[in-house]
């Protein structure tokens, strides 16, 4: 079973965080939530979540993937945290999946892992990706380049999480989860 680390910073986007954790757990992936703060962490819209561990007690070698939810000021809090940047860089250098959504691809840019990589971000922040050598794509809700997975924002959280489920638990599992949560119907209807 794959094991992933999801960062939790004050001001996180609740839809993104919840979709990632929920869908990956439905897919049988072990999800560990690492808080930048030791107690309850408050999201951008007032939802409070208790992390499983403190970020200081995390070792990249224990995980197959590291995921950064966005939200404002959540993604700014992630990118200002030196430990987050170090863990992202270590994960990338260890050939693990490194993923981010909304404004959080700026974290990957700041960690230096986007050089030459196709990626996406919340519209209007593309320059932040270019600063780190990324190649921003405006098309596509989810962009995968090797082990880097990025997405645009709250409404793309389900496709993003399903892509991560596919990568970490297999296509059949991701399709099963997609049907269970009716995303197959919702995503078809929205196209």
Average pLDDT over residues 54-76: 97
As a whole number of angstroms, the distance between CA 94 and CA 86 comes to 12
As a whole number of angstroms, the distance between CA 140 and CA 150 comes to 10
- Catalytic residue numbers, as ranges: 102
As a whole number of angstroms, the distance between CA 80 and CA 59 comes to 19
Average pLDDT over residues 169-177: 97
Q: What is the pLDDT of residue 31?
A: 98
Q: What is the pLDDT of residue 184?
A: 84
Q: How far, rounded to the nearest angstrom, does the alpha carbon of residue 39 sit from its chain's CA centroid?
A: 21
Print the SS3 string covering 113-152: CCCCCEECCCCCCHHHHHHCCCEECCCCCEEEECCEEEEC
pLDDT band at 189 (very low <50, low <70, confident <90, very high): low
Q: Model pTM?
A: 0.95
Q: What is the pLDDT of residue 70?
A: 97
């Amino acid at each position: 079973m794959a094991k992933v680390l999801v960062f939790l910073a004050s001001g996180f986007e609740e839809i993104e965080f919840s979709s990632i954790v929920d869908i990956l757990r439905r897919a049988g992936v072990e999800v560990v939530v690492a808080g930048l703060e030791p107690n309850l962490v408050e999201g951008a819209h007032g939802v409070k979540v208790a992390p499983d561990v403190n970020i200081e007690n995390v070792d990249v070698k224990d995980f197959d993937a590291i995921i950064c939810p966005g939200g404002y000021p959540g993604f700014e809090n992630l990118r200002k945290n030196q430990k987050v940047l170090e863990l992202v860089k270590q994960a990338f250098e260890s050939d693990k999946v490194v993923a981010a959504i909304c404004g959080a691809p700026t974290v990957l840019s700041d960690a230096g892992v986007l050089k030459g990589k196709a990626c996406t971000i919340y519209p209007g922040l593309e320059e932040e990706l270019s600063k780190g050598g990324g190649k921003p794509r405006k098309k596509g809700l989810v962009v995968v380049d090797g082990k880097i997975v990025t997405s645009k924002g709250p409404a793309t959280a389900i496709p993003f999480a399903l892509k991560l489920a596919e990568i970490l638990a297999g296509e059949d599992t991701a399709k099963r989860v997609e049907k269970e949560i009716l995303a197959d119907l919702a995503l078809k209807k929205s196209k």
